[in-house]
Amino acid sequence: MSLFKHALIQQHEDDAVGELLIAFETSRKRHLVDEDDEDLVVSGDGASLSAVNSDARLCWAHFLCREMAGLLSYDDVFRSINQPVFLVTLVDIGCARASNEFNVDLKPMVRRLGKGLHDCNYIGLIEPGLYPYIATVGASLDRSQCVSWHLHALVWGIDAKRLKRLVAKLNRTKKYIPISPDQTGVDARRVRDGEFAETLAYLLKRPTMAYRLAKGEKPNSSGEIKFHQYEGNMRPGERLTSYLQMRHLSLPDLWIASGDGKKVLKATIRQCRMAIRRFERASTGKQSRFGRRGGLFDLVNDQ
């Protein structure tokens, strides 16, 4: 099996799209979408690599997995890679927006979040983290709910000690401030042996979780009352909010890279666009996963 198959991207995408389409029909916010939105999600042509289009996301994942597998000599049997890789997350309240603020400009966030890792080899994406509830008293962000745009990046070509020093340095600058005072703005962990596929899938999957930040009722041994972050599956209205946050964006808008990661990103974009051109030239009567004519991912997956 390939890295793409091991990551179970298609299964997750089909499930997530099914839940999203149900939200289109049942959410109290359903007046914010119409038939054009459903077409944007399930259109078989990839919708110019729209960040919310299913075929586009699967096509992107297919080629990105191929590039990363080649770069890191992914072993299909042992699910191993040839060097240490780290999952690094950067968060800052300056990248938080109101949950009803759509058509968000990501360019300032790309500069702000990507700057911290500009000397590293990495590829990652900026995605919306939905906070439907925030206990505002004592929190870093003075609002009761928000969308926190943050960066998840896979970093390689650096040893653990050097990365640890970099993370500590970035946290000391206070340029990356998390929503919860009990967290850090920059966090890194090494990808465990045999878990690279699952970690890459974490970046490639459509957002499906929502987060709630609550304040503890009892103080700890130091007399401090801590914040607790809870996560759970998005409710229908929350799925719609997440969709609306990304509706205007393409996948190349969300993904950023530096060092050798730029080659991976450029190759992924190039192959996706080549696949779209092949799809436009092709004539097929096959049915897609959503009961439509064979889509972009069907063409790519058959190769």
In this predicted structure, what is the pLDDT of residue 242? 97
Residue 28 neighbours by CB distance under 10 Å: 9
Q: What is the pLDDT of residue 222?
A: 67
Which SS3 state, helix, strand or coil, does residue 138 take? coil
- At residue 298, the pLDDT reads 87
CB atoms within 10 A of CB 16: 19
Q: Are 86 and 191 in contact (CB under 8 A)?
A: yes
Alpha helix locations (H) across 173-285?
196-204, 236-246, 251-254, 261-281
In degrees and rounded to multiples of 5, residue 130 shows phi and psi of: -90, 125
Helix ranges (H only) for 209-260 are 236-246, 251-254
| Site of tokens 């990356």 | 176
Torsion of Cα atoms, 255 then 197 then 195 then 122, to 10°: -30
The pair of structure tokens assigned to 222 is 């130091």
> Going along 119-276, which residue ranges are E strands?
121-134, 146-156, 186-190, 209-215, 227-233, 255-258
Q: Are 98 and 147 in contact (CB under 8 A)?
A: yes
For residue 180, the model assigns a pLDDT of 85
Q: How high is the pLDDT of residue 56?
A: 97
Sign of CA dihedral 180, 183, 184, 189: negative
Phi, psi at residue 207, to the nearest 5°? Answer: -60, 130
> What is the distance between the alpha carbons of residues 165 and 185, in angstroms, rounded to a whole number?
14
pLDDT of residue 223: 65
Q: Which two tokens stand for residue 170?
A: 């970035």
- Angstrom CA distances, 97 to 109, 141, 156, 277, stand at 11, 10, 30, 36
Q: Closest Cα partner for 199 from 90, 84, 77?
A: 84
DSSP 29-82: TGGG--HHHHHHHH-TT-GGGBTT-HHHHHHHHHHHHHHHHHHTT--TTT---S
β-bridge pairing 96-97 and 255-258 = unpaired
Q: Closest by alpha carbon to 269, among 281, 258, 255, 259?
A: 255
- pLDDT at site 228: 86
Domain containing residue 90: 3-301
Q: Are 188 and 88 in contact (CB under 8 A)?
A: yes
Total domain count, the chain = 1
Query: For the chain, which residues score pLDDT lower than 70?
Result: 136-140, 142, 219-223, 283-293, 303
Look at residue 136 in the predicted model and tell me its pLDDT.
66
